[in-house]
Amino acid sequence: MNDRQQKMSLFLDKLWNNPAISRKPVRKKEREILNFIRENQASLQKVFSSPDYFPGESWNDSVALLLSLLVEKVLDSLAPQIDRIGQGLLQSGVIAHFDSKAGVDARCFGEFLTGLMRTRILRDQYHIVIETITLDLFRRYMPPAIVQRKTIYNEIVRRERLDLDANLIPEFMNAASLFRPLYYHRIPYKKDLPDLVSLHEARLDRKLYDTAVHAMKDYIRERVGQVPECIYLPGLESCLDASAQPDIAGASKLINIMVNRCEAYDPDVKPDRGAESPDKSWFNINRRDAREFGYDARMLDELYQIAGDEGW
């Protein structure tokens, strides 16, 4: 690390370790710092052009350095979680259950995720997915849903003929959700042509969408290995509107709900006396606009009922 990078790194450390944000999740820390840079651009310009920092250097160069170091900082902070998730995914035996020959390496998978997270849009998506897995939302809600055998069980297990041990279903959901951000990842979809498209961009053109899905399958096989389609496809399709496309997998619908639930979750905001529990409130608020937000209303009903029963 050269002198210039060291100076900026120290500057970034001051922001990163500031007591105002030091206890926040990585996703919020990054957002806070980006908002801080935006809000204080004029003052920062003065600071960076001062003799103590980078005299004579343009604002664009300084801020580019700051942002690149911020990305590294974020990725370094998430590395242990990514490793843990990768290890957990492979050790759980979910992938092996569907395809005993599937060869996925934990280290490669971690590197694949880290590589994707260098892109801002994918990093934003992965932040939430990683938080969803870390918060154990699937492990919390799946057991009661399996016992009740209502919508969630019927949609995920019976309809899809999911032949998995009940204990492995939350792991399956976690694994599938790791592929959700790829919906926004732009990849080449025409052979030997540099044109890029994401599934999100292609969603309105059926033919293009099918082509993009096909290209994504090849991309995953190349980069990650032989991951069974029944794992990554529910993840990719979880970004689709469940009310507009009711035929998508039940796992996709549940992943969509849970990831969005996690995005709105703020551990610092606690309910006061007289307020409903956080999950119950969120499910009830969102089931009123389920159609608008592309959620499965019946799943939200069931999750609302589980959250109420469990006091979540």
Contact with other proteins (CB under 8 A) among 96, 284, 305, 312:
284
Gap between the Cα atoms of 77 and 83, Å rounded? 11
The token pair that represents 115 in the structure block: 């590589």
Asked if 39 touches other proteins (CB under 8 A), the answer is yes
Any idea what DSSP says for residue 51?
T
Contact with other proteins (CB under 8 A) among 72, 229, 241, 276:
276
Length of the chain: 312
Asked if 272 touches other proteins (CB under 8 A), the answer is yes
Any idea what DSSP says for residue 154?
I
Gap between the Cα atoms of 308 and 4, Å rounded? 54
The token pair that represents 238 in the structure block: 């979880």
Q: Point out which span in 75-83, 95-103, 181-189, 275-283 binds other proteins (CB under 8 A).
A: 275-283
Q: Point out which span in 56-64, 148-156, 200-208, 289-297 binds other proteins (CB under 8 A).
A: 289-297
Nearest residue (CB) to other proteins, 24 versus 217: 24
Asked if 6 touches other proteins (CB under 8 A), the answer is no
Contact with other proteins (CB under 8 A) among 61, 289, 309, 310:
289
Asked if 218 touches other proteins (CB under 8 A), the answer is no
User: Is there a contact between 137 and 262 (Cβ–Cβ < 8 Å)?
Assistant: yes
Beta carbons within 8 Å of 271's beta carbon, 6+ residues apart = 277, 278, 281
Closest CA to 61 of 79, 49, 72: 49
Nearest residue (CB) to other proteins, 250 versus 278: 278
* Beta bridge pairs of residue 188: 196
Contact with other proteins (CB under 8 A) among 8, 33, 130, 248:
33
Contact with other proteins (CB under 8 A) among 2, 3, 20, 222:
20
Asked if 292 touches other proteins (CB under 8 A), the answer is yes
Asked if 75 touches other proteins (CB under 8 A), the answer is no
Gap between the Cα atoms of 40 and 45, Å rounded? 8
Asked if 244 touches other proteins (CB under 8 A), the answer is no
Nearest residue (CB) to other proteins, 79 versus 264: 264
Query: 3-state class of 261 per DSSP?
Result: helix
The token pair that represents 213 in the structure block: 């899905």
Gap between the Cα atoms of 298 and 145, Å rounded? 12
Beta carbons within 8 Å of 272's beta carbon, 6+ residues apart = none
Asked if 15 touches other proteins (CB under 8 A), the answer is yes
Gap between the Cα atoms of 195 and 4, Å rounded? 36
Nearest residue (CB) to other proteins, 13 versus 165: 13
Q: Point out which span in 72-80, 149-157, 192-200, 276-284 binds other proteins (CB under 8 A).
A: 276-284
Residues 42-71 that bind other proteins (CB under 8 A): 43-44, 47
Q: How far is the CB of 289 from other proteins (least distance, A)?
A: 5
Q: Point out which span in 29-37, 109-117, 147-155, 197-205 binds other proteins (CB under 8 A).
A: 29-37
- In order of 109, 123, 186, 201, 301, the CA distances from 198 in angstroms are 20, 15, 4, 5, 32
User: Is there a contact between 209 and 199 (Cβ–Cβ < 8 Å)?
Assistant: yes
What does the binding site for other proteins look like in residue numbers (CB under 8 A)?
11, 14-15, 18, 20-21, 28, 31-33, 35-36, 39-40, 43-44, 47, 263-264, 266, 269, 271-278, 280-282, 284-286, 288-289, 292-293
